Amino acid sequence: MTPSSSLLSRIEAGVAWITLNRPAQRNALDIPTLKALHSLLDTCNSDPSVRAVVLTGSGRSFCAGADLAEWAEAEARGALESYGWTETAHALMTRLHSLDKPTIAAINGTAVGAGMDLSLCCDLRVAAQSARFKAGYTSMAYSPDAGASWHLPRLIGSEQAKRLLFFDELWGVDRALAAGLVGEVCADEQLIGNVSELAARLAAGPTFAFAQTKKLLREGADRSLPQQLAAELAAGLLCGRSADGAEALRAAMEKRAPHFTGL
């Protein structure tokens, strides 16, 4: 993978590591960064050598959300409602949320606004002890605009979501973990090692089945139980016909560990 000016990326042992790389701006998301990340995720999704994706930030912040300098410049020229940040961000959040490959947010510092929302679009969230979470919207007299109003009630419940959004509270990792905003907390110096271990387990797993599972989980909330059972049946048939499905059965019969290829 080739890094853009605002992103660093590499593939190691089937894991694509993507690092937001604007430390002077606390990895704030301007439109070029949003577009570059979207393109990179498209590449990861179509690259068979990528079996899991990790997203993290450089420096002391995971992501500070929207680039306020870009926002202010657009307002100064009377283009705040038309300069395209929200639409570009929505396309990125949708791409990350719908990615076939399993994703992990390695949250290495403050995650604010759309930066927090970016982590919410990932399948798993591992936070360093120094991580902090803040919605950031109402303190700017603004409402959520990058998915927080959809993700938060599903992850932490309606009342906790309202507390985080209405009062714009700064949550440390203990509260984030207790509420279900993240799934794991570790010391700062252990973050990359812990995430590497999780990502390696995902990369070695049946990634075709992971993709079907992700789709079932995404779409299940809008279905009745009978509809979901029908979707599970269809997905199960696809998994059973896959190379990984055949390998899993052979391995079980031969009493050995399976070797999955994602096919």
Of 100, 145, 168, 188, the catalytic one is 145
The pLDDT assigned to 2 comes to 47
What's the rounded Cα separation, in Å, for the pair 217 and 211? 10
- Identify the pLDDT of residue 26: 92
CA 166/CA 139 separation, integer angstroms? 9
Q: Which among 90, 100, 168, 188 is annotated as catalytic?
A: 90
Is 90 part of the annotated catalytic residue set? yes
Q: In what order do the strands lie in the sheet with 61-63?
A: 61-63, 110-112, 132-134
The Cα–Cα gap between 175 and 179 comes to 6
Whole-prediction pTM value? Answer: 0.92
pLDDT of residue 13: 95
What is the number of H-type helices and E-type strands within the chain?
11, 9
| C-beta of residue 113 within 8 angstroms of C-beta of residue 132 | no
Is position 145 annotated as part of the catalytic site? yes
Give the mean pLDDT per block of 10 residues along the chain (263 residues).
76 97 93 96 96 96 88 74 85 96 97 96 97 90 88 95 94 96 97 97 95 95 94 95 92 90 86
Helices (H), 81-169: 85-97, 114-120, 148-156, 158-166
Q: What pLDDT score does 5 carry? A: 83
Q: Which pLDDT value is given to residue 242?
A: 93
